[in-house]
Amino acid sequence: MGCARGLLRLGPASADVVSKPVSLCPPNKNVQQIGRLAYRGGVVLTWPGRTFGGWSDLAITQQGQNLLAISDEGHWLSARLNWSNAGLTALHDGRLGVLPGEDCPGKLACDSESFALMPDGWLVGFERKDRLRLFAYTDPPFAQAARAFALPPGLHGGGNDGLETLAGLPDGRLLAIAEGPETGDPHGVAAWIWQAGAWKETEYPTVPWFRPTGASWLEPDPMGGDRVVVVERYWRLGQSRSRIVQLRVPPAKEALPVSLQVQELAQLAEPESVDNFEGITAWEQGGERRIALLSDDNFQGSQRTLLMTFAVVGESKKDTCRL
């Protein structure tokens, strides 16, 4: 579809957005929990006959009813979610469009990678041609051009290791994390917190070969501040893995730590259903804190657009899919 400025309305899921259920552990469908993530259903998404894919981040709102996603070619997708007692079953009532006012000749100029809900609109972060844009809340989404939002210092290199992750906090602050270079050595990547009208720099710790690709506010932290959930991607020698962690963002009155501390919730790796997960979002549904992971298929036939949902539970369970 390129960058046509029109709005395409999709038909029922069975005719346009095709949603096929996916198991957490295809070899053993009885496996329903990995680490602290209890599976709440997932689907593989396709849309025949259209340029569909490259989905980089998402938000799920209205207690699990509505989805909004952005792609690395400046597209957006909205849809409704179908749930059963077994979990997520399908998407329907889909709409697809292009982010307005962003010159989009291709991925190099319109690589929208990060997404956060703010008090006054949707904040979208672009990589390569680094910039932040704040879109007013509208229906349909992104019906108006955005205004510029201050970019964290040092993000003007234009490469593929720039701004990858945004998370809006309930008090109006923001967490931003750079993707950083892929390396086998432990190191940290630049991170920033937006508060009181300015960016304050900190550091996000990484482990070998994993890079942060998405983040979302999860819940208040009992010690004060907020908990944020982050998805990290591993891609090496054709193998895809994902690491899901939570971190504490201190309240505004506390001095920032030299490095944010993370706690692993789970890792996904084959034979579990896994792909290039770049997007993550959290919400409240049925008395649970739930998260969803969305994969970027890079428009490659060998990859999939996976949307998988989980509840964050208190007790960790050993991974029995890989035994």
**In Å, how far from its chain's centre is CA 317?**
24
Question: Residue 255 corresponds to which tokens in the numbers above?
Answer: 């001095």
Nearest alpha-carbon partner for 112 in 135, 95, 132 = 132
Please indicate, yes or no, if residue 2 is contained in any of the structural domains: no
pLDDT of residue 107: 62
φ/ψ region of 124 (left if φ > 0, alpha if ψ in -120 to 50, else beta) reads beta
pLDDT at 128 over 90: no
Identify the CATH number of the domain in which residue 18 sits: 2.115.10
Give tens-digit pLDDT for 230-271.
999 998 777 889 999 999 999 999 988 887 889 999 999 999
Could you list the residue range(s) of the whole structural domain that residue 133 is in? Answer: 8-309
pLDDT at 13 over 60: no
pLDDT of residue 1: 34
pLDDT of residue 12: 45
pLDDT of residue 217: 98
Please indicate, yes or no, if residue 320 is contained in any of the structural domains: no
pLDDT of residue 181: 78
Q: Cis link prior to 170 (omega < 30° from 0)?
A: no
Once rounded to an integer, what is the mean pLDDT over residues 296-315? 93
DSSP-assigned letters across all residues of 31-75: --EEEEEEEEEEEEEE-TTS----EEEEEEETTTTEEEEEETTSE
Once rounded to an integer, what is the mean pLDDT over residues 174-192? 85
Number of Cβ atoms within 10 Å of the Cβ of 46 = 16
pLDDT of residue 237: 73
pLDDT of residue 301: 83
Please indicate, yes or no, if residue 317 is contained in any of the structural domains: no
Lowest mean pLDDT among 10-14, 77-81, 140-144, 252-256: 10-14
Q: What is the pLDDT confidence band of residue 5, given thresholds at 50, 70 and 90?
A: very low
Nearest alpha-carbon partner for 294 in 279, 281, 282, 283 = 279
High-pLDDT (> 70) share of the chain, %: 89
Our count of domains for the chain comes to 1
- Residue 86: C-alpha distances to residues 14, 266, 305 (Å): 19, 21, 21
Please indicate, yes or no, if residue 135 is contained in any of the structural domains: yes
CA distance 96 to 148: 23
**In Å, how far from its chain's centre is CA 243?**
13
Helices (H) and strands (E) in the chain, counts: 0, 22
Say if CB 174 and CB 216 are below 8 A apart. no
Question: Which among 45-59, 155-169, 237-251 has the top mean pLDDT?
Answer: 237-251
Number of Cβ atoms within 10 Å of the Cβ of 243 = 24
Please indicate, yes or no, if residue 318 is contained in any of the structural domains: no
pLDDT at 2 over 50: no
Nearest alpha-carbon partner for 261 in 217, 213, 228, 239 = 228
Question: Which among 133-137, 156-160, 178-182, 237-241 has the top mean pLDDT?
Answer: 133-137
Please indicate, yes or no, if residue 3 is contained in any of the structural domains: no
pLDDT of residue 235: 84
Once rounded to an integer, what is the mean pLDDT over residues 117-144? 92
Once rounded to an integer, what is the mean pLDDT over residues 300-308? 92
Q: Cis link prior to 257 (omega < 30° from 0)?
A: no
Work out the mean pLDDT of the chain and round it to a whole number: 88
pLDDT of residue 305: 95
Question: Residue 287 corresponds to which tokens in the numbers above?
Answer: 């008395």
**In Å, how far from its chain's centre is CA 139?**
22
CA distance 125 to 133: 7
Give tens-digit pLDDT for 17-31.
788 999 999 999 999
Please indicate, yes or no, if residue 314 is contained in any of the structural domains: no
- For residue 215, the one-letter residue type is A
pLDDT of residue 167: 98
Q: Cis link prior to 140 (omega < 30° from 0)?
A: yes
pLDDT of residue 18: 82
**Side by side, which strands form the sheet with 239-249?**
210-220, 226-236, 239-249, 262-269
CA distance 180 to 160: 8
CA distance 28 to 39: 13
pLDDT at 75 over 80: yes
Q: Cis link prior to 271 (omega < 30° from 0)?
A: yes
pLDDT at 161 over 90: no
Give tens-digit pLDDT for 203-216.
999 999 999 999 99
Please indicate, yes or no, if residue 288 is contained in any of the structural domains: yes
The neighbouring-strand residues paired with 255 are none
Say if CB 36 and CB 314 are below 8 A apart. yes
